[in-house]
Amino acid sequence: MSGLSLFWQRYRRNRPAVGGLVVLGLVVLAAAFGPLAYGIDPFDMAGRPSTLPSARFPLGTDVSGRDILAGLLAGARVSLLIGIAASLTATLIGSAVGATAGYVGGWLDAILMRVTDFFLTIPSFVFAVLIVAIFRPSVAVITLAIAAVSWPSVARLARAEFVSQRHREYVSACRAMGMGHLEIMLRQILPNALPPVVVIGSLTVASAILAEAGLSFLGLGDPNIVSWGYMIGVARTVLRTAWWMSAIPGVTILVTVLAINLVGEGLNEALNPRMRPR
CATH code, domain with 74 = 1.10.3720.10
pLDDT band for position 62 (cuts 50, 70, 90): confident
- Number of folded domains that form the chain: 1
Does some domain include residue 219? yes
Residue 271 domain boundaries: 26-43+59-275
Does some domain include residue 231? yes
Q: Which residue has the higher pLDDT, 49 or 249?
A: 249
pLDDT band for position 278 (cuts 50, 70, 90): very low
Q: Are 147 and 90 in contact (CB under 8 A)?
A: yes
Does some domain include residue 251? yes
Does some domain include residue 181? yes
Q: How many CB atoms are closer than 10 A to CB 127? A: 14
Does some domain include residue 223? yes
pLDDT band for position 167 (cuts 50, 70, 90): confident
Q: How many CB atoms are closer than 10 A to CB 183? A: 11
Does some domain include residue 54? no
Does some domain include residue 147? yes
List of residues 6+ apart from 51 with CB closer than 8 A? 57, 60, 61, 65
State the pLDDT at residue 195. 82
pLDDT digit string, tens, across residues 225-248: 888 888 888 888 887 878 888 888
This prediction has a pTM of 0.86
Burial class (CB in 10 A: 0-12, 13-18, 19+), 158: buried
pLDDT band for position 3 (cuts 50, 70, 90): low
Q: How many CB atoms are closer than 10 A to CB 110? A: 11
Does some domain include residue 48? no
Angle between helix 228-235 and 244-271 (nearest 10) = 150
Beta bridge partner(s), residue 67 = 61
